[in-house]
Structure 1
Amino acid sequence: MEKQAKALKIALIGTRGVPARHGGFETCAEEIGWRLAERGHQVIVYSKRYKKEHLSSYRGMQVVYIPRLPFKGIETLFAAFLSALHSLFLKCDIHMVFDSANSPVLYLFNFFRKKYAINPDGLGWKREKWGRIARIYYKWVEHIVAHFSPNIVADSKAISNYYENEYHAQSTVIEYGAELPATVSKEQEEMILAKYGLQPYSYILQITRFEPENNPLLTIKAFLAAQTDLKLMIIGGASKKTPYAKQIQQEAERTDKVILPGFIYDKDVLNVIWQNSLFYVHGNSVGGTNPALLQAMAAGRPIAAIDCVFNRETMNNNGYFFDRSVSSLARIIQIINNDNLDAKQYAANNLKRIESHYNWERITNLYENLFFELSLPDLSKCGKRFSKWFQITKELPFLCRISKPVVQNA
């Protein structure tokens, strides 16, 4: 699509904001945001303030801080509503909303006939960490996205197919991107590895939150069962002490070969650890294109991923896939540790895939084209009628029958 000359005022709503410190939404907002600003667009990123941080702008983007509520259950949605109201006051051309949990704000944009799109992320109602009420809520907001938004951004073909098959809802596929790791000096690399007691290609790496659907406990159990001379490093943790996080700590204490350093946010440190690992374990089983998986691909290391449609799509089958069992992953650990030549070829193929497909310039182009398309005076894209509300609420009895996901024994 040929780009228009008009610069757009674009609001990015529903993330923790910039600078990106946390998940994929924040990284996406930053990476597409500064590139769009560099191209002449006015980009407003709504952010949560951390400590005494106060930035009026960041990398060419305008930063607007939203007051935080002390009530965690409704804090995110409250922030999204305040962001939406503020963006309406600023008369933004495009309102880009992230996370299906924030989809109730779409009612505002429809009421005022504003142009918007929403990236719902993965299937939140399948996450094992949520209780029954939270899962019902995530299924309900998924219905809002499907029935109420004419402009859905799916972060993978599998998510797009899900919305089409489940709700007959069309979407635009725009994945996430990854950056090729920046090079550091040999001295700096050695210093970083020494800090954590690591040697090049002598350890397995996983970077994830300590949540059941990400399977870090399974990784530790499989590592112990494989009985190799390798070490295992799992970077991440839990936002609060949970029984699952406690299990991980207890399992790790069975050996000095398991390293749990907590969260690491320094990109140079992470890149060094990624690039020097023997291989990366990706246990995330719920969601579309995963940013951590993309970064592991960009690091050029072999990957063992849990077998699901999202991971196979992202890697184009270039890797090792395990089911949710200790024996399956333990067998893969032994195969790669035996210097399997396929591992190196898989890694090379994944690196090429990052360079050609999952790069931020291409992703930004896709978002920019979408925003230009939405900015056109097309009444069919101005929003659906409020009768959709009755279609959604009519399905609430079905939503209340959602049962807790079955947790398979590792």
Structure 2
Amino acid sequence: MAHVAIIGTRGYPSYYGGFETAVRFLGEFLVEKDWDVTIYGRPESGEGNHKADPRIEVKFTRGWDKKATSTLSYGMTASIDAVRLKPDVALVMNVANGYWLPLLKARGIPTLVNVDGVEWERAKWNRAARAVFRVGGRLTARFADEIVVDAEAIGDRWQEWYGRPGVYIPYGSLEVPKRPAPFGLPQGSYVLFVARFVPENSVDEFFEASRKIARDVPVVIVGSSGYGGELDQAAAALTSEFDSVRWLGHVRDDNLLHDLWSNCGVYFHGHTVGGTNPALVQAMRCGAPVLARDTVFNREVLAETGHFVDSDPGVIADALRDLLAAPAEARCLGEAAALRAREKFDWPSICGDYKRALENLLE
């Protein structure tokens, strides 16, 4: 029985972001295939409506819960514990943990590293943090036994920068039952926004666009910064200014998110960096009509099943209105997106790809 340690997420079952979503599905998939699974995490994980699988070992290590230090510090302490534990293979998430790969290599633990997006291009980081991620990327390229890229465009960049081809494994989605919209919202009547509150997710631009449409259109906002700050304050101000704007904060209930995606008139996906986004592929699987920021990553995922827009809030507002005013077109977009997600972004298939990549390292 093979033993895998998963390092670099908030834990299991956590609902914070893409890595945590992937680990929830992958950990349970692997234990069903008779693997021993240890997932390193932080004490605040384990919230939400998902019941934890008791066969998965969850280990908490210490770290510093600050925006600039959390990933590095928790990654370090988890890697040190994994050196003691000595699993057969380690799945490491995020290039910031490239600093600790030499420890795992010295212990003879093969590593599969999901490099995520291009962290040093994210606007939320200052110059020092971007430098840290750049060095982490170089160390990952040097010491990882194999890397995973969640988008082909990310793979192209790693090949160009470091000469490292990556295994392409995107994020997945699940089929969900169709149920009524929550909060009494009429089906197809509202604009939905789901994102972590960071600048590169077009949060400011969407808030400004919302001010232009909120007198006529219900707007539902899901997300937060996780640390408080100006964007959270801006969301609160919107709800105070417009009765039609509902801000739910960070949602840990998958069923609520699925119901919101399944019944929205249009879902605005504002992410501009990173690769395949897990929220986007699940929104597609739910049949949400998608208006996305025009990036190489969003076009790779959506292909012809979405509409694309630039960063201008006025243009975003007009595009949202136009799609809401064309329900037949929106319905066709949603159906096409659901079919694409079913064929290309399906969690059982994605987890199988991870399992094969880990097995290749064991061999």
Per-residue deviation, residues 5-40 of structure 1 (Å, max 9, x unmatched): xx3111111101101221111111110111111011
Q: How far off its partner does 1:78 sit?
A: 2.5
Instruction: Give structure 1 stretches of 5+ with no counterpart.
Output: 1-6, 377-410
Q: How far off its partner does 1:306 sit?
A: 0.2
Per-residue deviation, residues 269-306 of structure 1 (Å, max 9, x unmatched): 22222211101000011101111111111111110000
Determine if contact 1:15/1:98 at 8 Å carries over to the other structure. Answer: yes
1:91 matched to 2:86? The reply is yes
Q: How far off its partner does 1:251 sit?
A: 4.8
1:293 matched to 2:274? The reply is no
The equivalent of 2:7 in structure 1 is 13
The equivalent of 2:138 in structure 1 is 143
Q: How far off its partner does 1:88 sit?
A: 2.6
1:157 matched to 2:152? The reply is yes
Do the aligned partners of residues 278 and 62 (structure 1) sit closer, same or farther apart at CA in structure 2, a change above 3 Å counting? Answer: same
Residue 280 of structure 1: SS of its match in structure 2?
Answer: strand
Counterpart of 1:268 in structure 2: which amino acid? N
The equivalent of 2:101 in structure 1 is 106
Q: Distance in 2 between matches of 1:58 and 1:139?
A: 36
Per-residue deviation, residues 316-356 of structure 1 (Å, max 9, x unmatched): 23111001112321221122122154332221121112212
The equivalent of 1:260 in structure 2 is 247
- Give the one of 134, 144, 154 matched to 2:129: 134
Q: Distance in 1 between matches of 2:294 and 2:101?
A: 34
Determine if contact 1:18/1:58 at 8 Å carries over to the other structure. Answer: no
Q: Distance in 2 between matches of 1:345 and 1:126?
A: 34
1:337 matched to 2:332? The reply is no
Q: How far off its partner does 1:50 sit?
A: 2.5
Q: Distance in 2 between matches of 1:350 and 1:71?
A: 37
The equivalent of 1:374 in structure 2 is 361
The equivalent of 2:25 in structure 1 is 31
1:221 matched to 2:208? The reply is yes
Do the aligned partners of residues 227 and 23 (structure 1) sit closer, same or farther apart at CA in structure 2, a change above 3 Å counting? Answer: closer
Residue 58 of structure 1: SS of its match in structure 2?
Answer: coil
Correspondence list, 1:3-402, <5 A = 7-50=1-44, 58-69=53-64, 73-183=68-178, 189=180, 192-194=182-184, 198-226=185-213, 229-251=216-238, 253-339=240-326, 341-376=328-363
Residue 146 of structure 2: SS of its match in structure 1?
Answer: coil
Which structure's CA Rg is the greater one? 1
Q: How far off its partner does 1:148 sit?
A: 3.0
Q: Distance in 2 between matches of 1:199 and 1:362?
A: 34
Q: Distance in 2 between matches of 1:374 and 1:266?
A: 35
Do the aligned partners of residues 70 and 19 (structure 1) sit closer, same or farther apart at CA in structure 2, a change above 3 Å counting? Answer: closer
Aligned residues: 359
Counterpart of 1:21 in structure 2: which amino acid? Y
Determine if contact 2:120/2:130 at 8 Å carries over to the other structure. Answer: yes
Q: Distance in 2 between matches of 1:314 and 1:339?
A: 23
Per-residue deviation, residues 136-171 of structure 1 (Å, max 9, x unmatched): 111221222223324110011011011112222111
Q: How far off its partner does 1:227 sit?
A: 7.1
Per-residue deviation, residues 179-230 of structure 1 (Å, max 9, x unmatched): 122455xxxx46x323xxx222111001112221111221232233357732
Q: Distance in 2 between matches of 1:49 and 1:226?
A: 40
Q: How far off its partner does 1:178 sit?
A: 1.3
Per-residue deviation, residues 55-95 of structure 1 (Å, max 9, x unmatched): xx735211112134466543332322222232232221111
* Higher alpha-carbon deviation: 138-147 or 358-367: 138-147
Determine if contact 2:37/2:56 at 8 Å carries over to the other structure. Answer: yes
Counterpart of 2:183 in structure 1: which amino acid? L
TM-score if structure 2 supplies the norm length?
A: 0.92
Determine if contact 1:80/1:102 at 8 Å carries over to the other structure. Answer: yes
Q: How far off its partner does 1:239 sit?
A: 2.1
Determine if contact 2:75/2:100 at 8 Å carries over to the other structure. Answer: yes
TM-score if structure 1 supplies the norm length?
A: 0.82
Determine if contact 1:220/1:252 at 8 Å carries over to the other structure. Answer: no
Instruction: Give structure 2 stretches of 5+ with no counterpart.
Output: none
Counterpart of 2:40 in structure 1: which amino acid? Y
Determine if contact 2:5/2:37 at 8 Å carries over to the other structure. Answer: yes
Do the aligned partners of residues 132 and 177 (structure 1) sit closer, same or farther apart at CA in structure 2, a change above 3 Å counting? Answer: same
Counterpart of 2:21 in structure 1: which amino acid? T
Determine if contact 2:89/2:110 at 8 Å carries over to the other structure. Answer: yes
Q: Distance in 2 between matches of 1:366 and 1:165?
A: 24
Q: Distance in 2 between matches of 1:277 and 1:126?
A: 31
Q: How far off its partner does 1:48 sit?
A: 1.1
